[in-house]
Structures are given as structure tokens and as C-alpha cells.
């Protein structure tokens, strides 16, 4: 999967969370109350630094497999820099292609050299707490390999790179999308009401899409 991060800019890790873990995280998200830099509207709820709120969020920092991937990718001194929980309700429009951060701008021709690897400084792990089976369920969109552009993306609502357009990442609850900060990506629009089969008795509205996101930053020796 480390190779996938260098080649495609992301890796999809299936089945990281069990059904009971998904249910517990959804219930914990349901208990969150906004304060500080949290952002809550009728269409989206966005809670910052949730590892400070409940133990269950804190435990995701050391999730087996994901922590291993982070350390293999960025070194064993990498550390957490944030953890966000959010819900997207029907009507929420998250479309806005962008890069999270390009740390080193390089000519695209550098990637033609087989031995050249752009260092990975920041990655994000999206823990999906709802099934996202179709484009109507607000998937994340990515352009595979677009980090090799060597530059940030800004302003283009429908970008292409080497003939590739943004494509949806369809997932099941419990999957994790692990991506590097330079990849071109976007949120999208929630159009449908649905209930995840793993929601149990969490009390979540059938209209919500739920995720927990953690950022990890690689640190050199």
C-alpha cells in the first residue's frame, strides 16, 4: 500500500473497522456538541480534534494496520495533527476540487525518472462510518496519480490530469481511504436518504453520511 501512495496518491483499505466499532463511533459522534472551531449547519456537522472528546476517538489514532501504514510511509516519528468527525446531510454540496497541501513544488518531468519519489509529508485517513455505494451518497472523488503534477490545484471545478477526470471512491462502512496531501480530490453532493446497515440503534438520521478523519504528519529524524 505504500507503493500505491507513491503511484496513485491513495490506498483504499477495506474492513478496518468492525460493525460494532462503526456503530460505537456513530453513537459517539451523535453525542458530540459543537464548540470552539467546530462548524455546524443544517447541512453539515464538522467537529474538530475529537480525540480530546471521547476515548473511542482517541483509540483510532493507534488503529492497527493504519498506524503501520503511516509509519511505513512517513517514518516511525510521524504523529497525529488532527482528528475530525463529520456528517453530510442531503443537499450538502461539498464539490470543490483541491489539494490539501503541496509541500514541495517540482517539475512534472521529475516523475519520469524511475528512482524519483516525492517525499510524503502529510496523509489523511478517512474512516467511513456509512456505506457509500453510489455517486448519490456523497463519495470522495480523486484523480489517481495527480500528485505527480508537482503543483497545487486551485480554481478549476472540473480538472483533468493526463486525460483523467475525478472519479468516485465507493466504500463500505468500516473502510479507510488513506491519501497523501498532494492528490487532487473533492467532496461531492449528498442527494439521497439512506440508512447504513451497520447503524444499529445509534439514532442517526437516515439522511446522514458519517466519517471520522485523522491527519498524520511525517517528521524527519
Q: What is the pLDDT of residue 67?
A: 87
Determine the average pLDDT of the residues in 32-44: 92
- Percent above pLDDT 90 for the chain: 45
Predicted TM-score (pTM) of this structure: 0.85
Residue 198 has pLDDT above 70, yes or no: no
88-138 pLDDT, tens digit per residue, is 888 888 889 999 989 889 999 999 888 898 888 889 988 999 899 998 888
Q: What is the pLDDT of residue 115?
A: 86
> Would you call 182 exposed, middle or buried from its count of C-beta atoms within 10 A (0-12, 13-18, 19+)?
buried
Contact in structure between 42 and 220 (CB atoms under 8 Å) = no
Q: Write down all domains in the chain, each with its CATH number in brackets.
A: 2-217 (2.60.120.620)
79 confidence band (pLDDT: 50, 70, 90)? confident
Place of cell 468500516: 174
141-174 pLDDT, tens digit per residue, is 999 999 999 999 878 899 999 999 999 999 999 9
207 confidence band (pLDDT: 50, 70, 90)? very low
Q: What is the pLDDT of residue 154?
A: 75
Whole-angstrom CA distances from 217 to 57, 70, 76, 85, 120 are 18, 9, 11, 18, 9
Q: What is the pLDDT of residue 219?
A: 42
Contact in structure between 176 and 128 (CB atoms under 8 Å) = yes
Question: What is the grid cell recorded at 143?
Answer: 484523480
Amino acid at each position: 500500500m505504500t507503493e500505491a501512495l507513491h503511484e496513485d496518491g491513495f490506498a483504499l483499505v477495506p474492513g478496518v473497522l468492525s460493525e460494532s466499532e462503526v456503530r460505537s463511533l456513530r453513537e459517539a459522534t451523535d453525542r458530540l456538541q459543537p464548540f470552539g472551531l467546530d462548524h455546524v449547519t443544517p447541512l453539515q456537522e464538522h467537529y474538530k480534534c475529537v480525540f480530546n472528546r471521547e476515548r473511542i476517538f482517541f483509540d483510532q489514532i493507534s488503529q492497527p494496520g493504519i498506524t503501520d501504514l503511516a509509519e511505513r510511509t512517513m517514518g516511525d516519528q510521524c504523529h497525529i495533527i488532527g482528528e475530525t468527525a463529520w456528517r453530510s446531510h442531503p443537499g450538502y454540496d461539498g464539490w470543490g476540487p483541491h489539494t490539501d497541501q503541496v509541500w514541495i513544488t517540482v517539475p512534472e518531468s521529475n516523475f519520469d525518472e524511475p528512482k524519483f519519489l516525492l517525499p510524503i509529508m502529510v496523509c489523511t485517513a478517512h474512516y467511513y462510518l456509512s456505506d457509500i455505494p453510489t455517486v448519490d451518497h456523497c463519495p470522495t472523488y480523486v484523480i489517481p496519480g495527480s500528485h505527480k503534477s508537482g503543483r497545487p490545484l486551485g480554481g478549476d471545478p472540473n480538472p483533468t490530469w493526463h486525460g483523467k477526470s475525478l472519479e468516485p471512491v465507493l466504500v463500505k462502512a468500516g473502510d479507510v481511504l488513506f491519501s497523501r496531501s498532494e492528490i487532487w480530490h473533492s467532496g461531492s453532493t449528498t442527494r439521497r436518504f439512506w440508512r447504513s446497515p451497520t447503524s444499529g440503534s445509534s439514532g442517526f438520521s437516515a439522511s446522514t453520511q458519517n466519517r471520522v478523519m485523522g491527519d498524520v504528519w511525517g517528521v524527519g529524524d
